[in-house]
Structure 1
């Protein structure tokens, strides 16, 4: 369990029947979990499944299989597909594909603007009223940089309790940018991506959210300055939440010295100072959740020169291990804190019904079992994801998800897909 004395958990059908000591049930399948940690199933508020349109990178099937391997029982699929998920028809297609495959629940995220072009609001109401019941909207991959459009989106989603998830990147400040702007970019002669390009958008959007009285969520926050803006906004009572990726909790821009495009990501890897600030903010609750920004790419889009390479990293199958190393083993979070940041709060922000619930009698049996004592080198050849663009290849990471259950049905057993 998350702490205290070891306990038994009895699953009956789709729910947790009982939690306690000395439980027994005739004919029940027994999973020995001595020394392991049982968490509520993880929820990822920021996943790229690529289907429809880029099935060479990922599909709903392969992406949800990767999610199950990482301990996830629900993922939110970003809208930057081909066609863009800016209509009820497209979000319903993604939603139904998730239902068909069954490795985890898939909740589509709707685009804020038509075609992610930032010019005209997409069909926000129609997507919300569709079978997919969309509540989170984002142009992720692009920033909603027009303040008027952003205000209108915040006003629109307020009517049904939705949230706009902003990719904070002022485009005029990042033209030609290849990595974090700083000492390393100057030495390498690569175009710099200044922290202010992120921070200025966050500052604007929290003020817009305050003015409108709506919810705004900040995607993949990456700088110490952004942390301070969000902390200030929360102190004023502004309804803002924020996420950090596992890679921004561990990796720094020093890795770009290798010119290995696997380290090219949006937003870019930042400095050690930023990494430490992000960890502290996740620990104290300024940053609400960990989200993977799982961004699969085919081999040819990464195995090329730095300037031509696509931005992004896969992350579903390594996220929990990185969080264990950066947050648990450093003493910044206990396992209850991990459950809060990777299950409870993401489910609350995204309104994922049945997920992020405590491991207790009567709750849906969405569960993840973790062998925290395990240590091993990351081998992307064994990934369930269709893509292999991980920055952790060969790196030793702690922890391994051994079992995942979705509403009582095992999707992962002894580290293998069911």
Structure 2
């Protein structure tokens, strides 16, 4: 079976140019050249043909929380956003914290329409008290290790985990937050929390944990990856640590690039996430850190919740927003269209950089012979973000109703169309 995508635009060898791509037997067979026909021909009408995006931070919720999301709906949402490979966190019930449970989880993941890389936890049941058997989980196929959603406040436990993960030459991905310093806060500390009468979370709860863990990472040599970095001080610490040779990488979410706590003008839990939306200064530091290379990549932290849960308000609702279906379009509209970032940098932060940081094979690039994991984006026509068009079960997003460019036309995984916009695209 062959598929021809013609009249597209793409970055090839560093140049944005017209491109035609032939897919055959699930792989990229030819790029440009004398391509004449195929079993199926699709004219994408000058749309952007991109490597399939890679999101190393999503929550699929199955098993244990299928009222919020399932592997099928979460992976469909990823495909809707142009993602072809995702890293699924381990905050599930049961937690895949031993080899048997992990193998059962990977079997469940086979229902996904995109490629799923499964995290294993760092500690048993993600309680932060006792490390897992890392070697067994590595042999079972763990992508990396993370207790994301929970912090590891015990320094001795973190040190032991880093030593063992370093020996395996794997990655420890950290939800950096000292819970002893959050004081049950729900949004960022500052004038907005005071005005709304809710408890605040200060920056030091993140920064102090990162400082401790950078010291432990330097001592152990582990590849330490900081999830969803959000504060100016954290970014400064990581910048200095990189310069001194610590093996540290980090990610930032679209919402920490696009929003800050000044947006929270009412008791609206669509703006509640962890880490919280910080100050304008912090948001600008995230943008600067990404642009100067301190922050390595963009990851969504896609975190679906039910409508009923989010109606509970800032003090009682769970943390998190969905992001798979809106990330590229929002970032393209806000930053590329505004001339702040070049398009090729955005594509790299969402495809090539995750590939490099996590040592992934055959993803994040358009290359002859590689699996045909491809996304096609409409850069010409404006669309409104509409929750009713989401494929995720979760509609919890502060971006509903915004107008964007860069919505997804089509997503292919191994040459198979796993998402296609309903309207004809001629």
| TM-score interval for Structure 1 and Structure 2 normalised by the shorter chain | over 0.9
Contact 1:215 1:240 in 2 (8 A): yes
The answer to whether the aligner puts 1:28 opposite 2:49 as a matched pair is: no
Please give the alpha-carbon distance, in whole angstroms, between the structure 2 residues aligned to 1:22 and 1:36. Answer: 21
Residues 261-303 of structure 1, C-alpha deviations (whole Å, 9 max, x = no match): 1111100011122111111211221111111101011121111
- 1:409: which partner in 2? 416
Aligned residue among 353, 360, 376 for 1:369: 376
Q: CA deviation at 1:360?
A: 2.3
Contact 1:41 1:73 in 2 (8 A): yes
SS in 2 for 1:308: coil
- 1:116: which partner in 2? 126
Please give the alpha-carbon distance, in whole angstroms, between the structure 1 residues aligned to 2:275 and 2:17. Answer: 41
Contact 1:401 1:415 in 2 (8 A): no
- 1:343: which partner in 2? 351
- 1:160: which partner in 2? 168
| Alignment CA distance shift 1:258-1:354 (3 Å) | same
Please give the alpha-carbon distance, in whole angstroms, between the structure 2 residues aligned to 1:102 and 1:172. Answer: 37
- 2:4: which partner in 1? none
Contact 1:135 1:351 in 2 (8 A): no
- 2:279: which partner in 1? 271
SS in 1 for 2:265: helix
The answer to whether the aligner puts 1:234 opposite 2:245 as a matched pair is: no
Residues 290-317 of structure 1, C-alpha deviations (whole Å, 9 max, x = no match): 1110101112111123211111101100
Contact 2:117 2:143 in 1 (8 A): no
Aligned residue among 403, 406, 411 for 1:396: 403
Contact 1:279 1:326 in 2 (8 A): no
Please give the alpha-carbon distance, in whole angstroms, between the structure 1 residues aligned to 2:146 and 2:60. Answer: 15
Q: CA deviation at 1:21?
A: 4.4
Please give the alpha-carbon distance, in whole angstroms, between the structure 2 residues aligned to 1:252 and 1:304. Answer: 21
Contact 2:71 2:112 in 1 (8 A): no
Contact 1:377 1:394 in 2 (8 A): yes
TM-score (norm 1): 0.95
How large is the RMSD of aligned CA atoms in angstroms?
1.5
Between stretches 312-321 and 371-380, larger displacement belongs to: 371-380
SS in 1 for 2:44: coil
TM-score (norm 2): 0.93
SS in 2 for 1:11: strand
SS in 1 for 2:250: strand
Unaligned runs of 5+ in 2: 1-9
SS in 2 for 1:164: strand
Please give the alpha-carbon distance, in whole angstroms, between the structure 1 residues aligned to 2:67 and 2:78. Answer: 18
Residues 128-147 of structure 1, C-alpha deviations (whole Å, 9 max, x = no match): 101xx113111111111111
Please give the alpha-carbon distance, in whole angstroms, between the structure 2 residues aligned to 1:86 and 1:322. Answer: 35
Aligned residue among 90, 107, 111 for 1:96: 107
Q: CA deviation at 1:108?
A: 1.1
- 1:245: which partner in 2? 253
Between stretches 386-395 and 49-58, larger displacement belongs to: 386-395
Please give the alpha-carbon distance, in whole angstroms, between the structure 2 residues aligned to 1:23 and 1:300. Answer: 52
SS in 2 for 1:85: coil
Please give the alpha-carbon distance, in whole angstroms, between the structure 2 residues aligned to 1:377 and 1:158. Answer: 45
What are the equivalent positions in structure 2 for 1:246-395 lying under 5 Å apart?
246-356=254-364, 358-395=365-402
- 2:68: which partner in 1? 57
Please give the alpha-carbon distance, in whole angstroms, between the structure 2 residues aligned to 1:105 and 1:415. Answer: 23
Contact 1:262 1:389 in 2 (8 A): yes
- 2:17: which partner in 1? 5
Please give the alpha-carbon distance, in whole angstroms, between the structure 2 residues aligned to 1:371 and 1:287. Answer: 27
Unaligned runs of 5+ in 1: none
| Alignment CA distance shift 1:387-1:4 (3 Å) | closer
Contact 2:211 2:237 in 1 (8 A): yes
SS in 2 for 1:370: strand
Please give the alpha-carbon distance, in whole angstroms, between the structure 2 residues aligned to 1:24 and 1:334. Answer: 32
Aligned length: 411
Contact 1:249 1:326 in 2 (8 A): no
